[in-house]
Structure 1
């Protein structure tokens, strides 16, 4: 029945895929132009719903991720936006692949939606360690964004998991805030650029542990208290007492549904966009953490969502739609 309801909808002018900061902003900007706007979201709010305190979104001194996500949805609902929540996209067909020249979105439930333009803003997810305690203490000591959550651990001991550029950069950033940073790397050497390694090694309050397998996040029921890891060379088990664990082992863009489409992806499976947020497929735009735009931040995603929406509107005018 739900699929039938969705199938019955008329074609949109702008159809946004994803309800995080990029998607919510894109939908709001499109609706303000007085055009038919829809937003398909698996979970309105997106990744911010898993974020702790937010203290660097200008004009908002401090808020929490779930509150921020709810406020975004409230704001979008002030406009005439058709919100289709709890829906997962399965496939995208470009206008050149359809009989009526519209972009087609197929959902997991079998429904199909059509639109003159589509804005892809499906975000990304942090790659997790998948060890006991990680999920239990997520937002209670286990964090994935040093820019967002680093200041919460001022004067405390923390660990960073991962020795690539993002991990070493996180350790360097955190060293200026926290009491001590221990970087834990699975490999026998760090993979970060040498200039970053040199900077990390020059800091007095950092330690690097190599060839270590993180095995468990330990807590007291409310907060993280330690990280357990195993020395891969000796199998000896160790425990680090700390207040926070920053997992920096990669970001996975939510773009699996595009792998059989014509939308070009980078070698990291991020959607490739130009400065106008255009993809290589006519009428298809993208914004936020699922794209090749650097620095995955809420404020950047929101700005990119606005750009993508304005570009989509401009595209419709220029193409006579």
Structure 2
């Protein structure tokens, strides 16, 4: 199951295990069970602290538990955790084996203090780049607190259960048999839902913070670069982010980041946060900004958060990024994550053998259709314009696929369903005016991005597209406020450009601080 190179790398990691563990399998006579057994036997052979046993004591097969011998500490996988989940498997082996996780001690204590019985089930897919964060968070929580149990379930292998529980997006998490949440979640986000007092305690702590020299709002590539460049100047720097990593967390393959031939969004997001944490930067995660308050008599700019707390700073860098654009048609929100989805890599495997539509004929839409064509029964791509806008090489590939239909001049007008899931889509022919209905089970929306700037309307000058207007130095219309990245009018929304703009905005903010503080300092010196 594992090649020689991977075995060598894994063996090195497994040397960190300090407590004996057992891999306990539940198998049937199928091919996937034989694959899983081979994988577990390979792993057990790499360490004298790992044993393998087959007990067939779990209803889901193939599945296995990683259990710390002589204790209640265990995590479970239903399926074969390869692909994006291989890292989750390695971390589970190490953590169940007693290797300490990199976690804020206060957060670890908060997990240990949770009372009650928590039985989590996470439906994921091996091609989902968003799923590992959720799987790893819940696995670690189950290692730290014996009241917490977690199983990660490969939806592609357990289609009957996916259908029965109406799972149409990953990751989907159930708690004690009831829906808990969907989408990428960190430990802090999960704790915020379980420990209802956590958000209020965080807000109270934020209220006591001293003013920052530079406050960065947003934690994507632009925000991370701004924080690093500001901190390197030796000034007090803070970052308030709804989720550190931003849109990069939802990006699959990255092949145009200069000097790095290939990486993936979640990996890059982790590297960004680790780099920022090497400096004296106060990172405040899970904090959504709701209002920008221009400087008053005290010379401090305010940023009011959704929690009710307000942060103060001498200068601010806005780097709030962008989000997926919605179609804004009836049924879209009603059936979101019930057939309407925005991530073909994440949710594609859940639609195996079904009929789906992709909305959008740009590079993202055509790439999504190509990927989905290898999984689903049929793909219909609908483009509003008179022709596809994707690169020609992608169009040629798409047109060569036998289970793809392309419709241009198509205006989607409605997503229909039976109250529980998508059953079809209605579109209008923009040439003839006729209305048509497609019978299908999934709709993948790929029509671009919208800047996250709604909260700035009436405060900062915005373009007709809602982007923050900036000059060549990243300055906005509000003194002391700078902006960078996909939320601004700077053209070409690319990671490398966002990083450069974030760095520039931080340098401009530093220059602003020098120039605005110099007269006061000079006056003080003259008086002395």
TMscore range, shorter length: 0.7 to 0.9
Map of 1:112 onto structure 2: 310
Map of 1:139 onto structure 2: 345
Q: Report the CA distance between 1:283 and its aligned residue.
A: 0.5
Contact 1:212 1:229 in 2 (8 A): yes
Please point out which of 489, 495, 499 is paired with 1:298: 495
Compare relative contact order (CA 8 Å, sep 6+) and give the higher one, 1 or 2. 1
Contact 2:426 2:438 in 1 (8 A): yes
- State which structure, 1 or 2, has the greater radius of gyration over its C-alpha atoms: 2
Please point out which of 81, 91, 105 is paired with 2:281: 81
Q: Distance in 2 between matches of 1:273 and 1:77?
A: 28
- 1:169 and 2:389 aligned: yes
Counterparts of 1:114-129 in structure 2, within 5 Å, are: 114-129=312-327
Give the SS at the match of 2:345: coil
Q: Distance in 1 between matches of 2:426 and 2:210?
A: 57
Map of 1:259 onto structure 2: 457
Map of 2:516 onto structure 1: 319
CA RMSD of aligned residues (A): 3.5
Give the SS at the match of 2:304: strand
Map of 1:101 onto structure 2: 299
Contact 1:155 1:177 in 2 (8 A): no
Q: Report the CA distance between 1:12 and its aligned residue.
A: 0.8
Q: Report the CA distance between 1:133 and its aligned residue.
A: 2.1
Q: Distance in 1 between matches of 2:211 and 2:515?
A: 19
Kindly tell me: are residues 145 and 257 of structure 1, through their superposed partners in 2, closer, same or farther at Cα, counting changes over 3 Å? farther
Q: Distance in 2 between matches of 1:175 and 1:298?
A: 24
Q: Distance in 2 between matches of 1:287 and 1:39?
A: 14
Q: Distance in 1 between matches of 2:427 and 2:360?
A: 23
Please point out which of 66, 78, 92 is paired with 2:266: 66
Contact 1:156 1:179 in 2 (8 A): no
Give the SS at the match of 2:479: coil
Contact 2:340 2:445 in 1 (8 A): no
Unaligned runs of 5+ in 1: 182-204, 218-226
Kindly tell me: are residues 59 and 156 of structure 1, through their superposed partners in 2, closer, same or farther at Cα, counting changes over 3 Å? same
Q: Distance in 2 between matches of 1:63 and 1:38?
A: 27
Give the SS at the match of 1:170: coil
Unaligned runs of 5+ in 2: 1-200, 349-357, 374-378, 418-422, 519-528
Q: TM (normalized to structure 2)? A: 0.48
Map of 2:51 onto structure 1: none
Q: Distance in 2 between matches of 1:305 and 1:6?
A: 24
Q: Report the CA distance between 1:99 and its aligned residue.
A: 2.4
Counterparts of 1:1-321 in structure 2, within 5 Å, are: 1-95=201-295, 98-129=296-327, 130=332, 132-135=338-341, 137-140=343-346, 141=348, 161-163=382-384, 168-170=388-390, 174-175=394-395, 178-179=398-399, 208-213=408-413, 215=415, 229-232=425-428, 236-238=436-438, 247-248=446-447, 250-261=448-459, 263-320=460-517
Q: Distance in 2 between matches of 1:276 and 1:7?
A: 31
Q: Over residues 19-72 of structure 1, what are the superposed CA-to-partner deviations in whole Å (9 max), with x where a residue is unaligned?
A: 011101110111111111100000001111111111111122222212211111
Q: Distance in 1 between matches of 2:436 and 2:224?
A: 48
Contact 1:51 1:139 in 2 (8 A): no
Q: Over residues 164-201 of structure 1, what are the superposed CA-to-partner deviations in whole Å (9 max), with x where a residue is unaligned?
A: 59x843365732554459xxxxxxxxxxxxxxxxxxxx
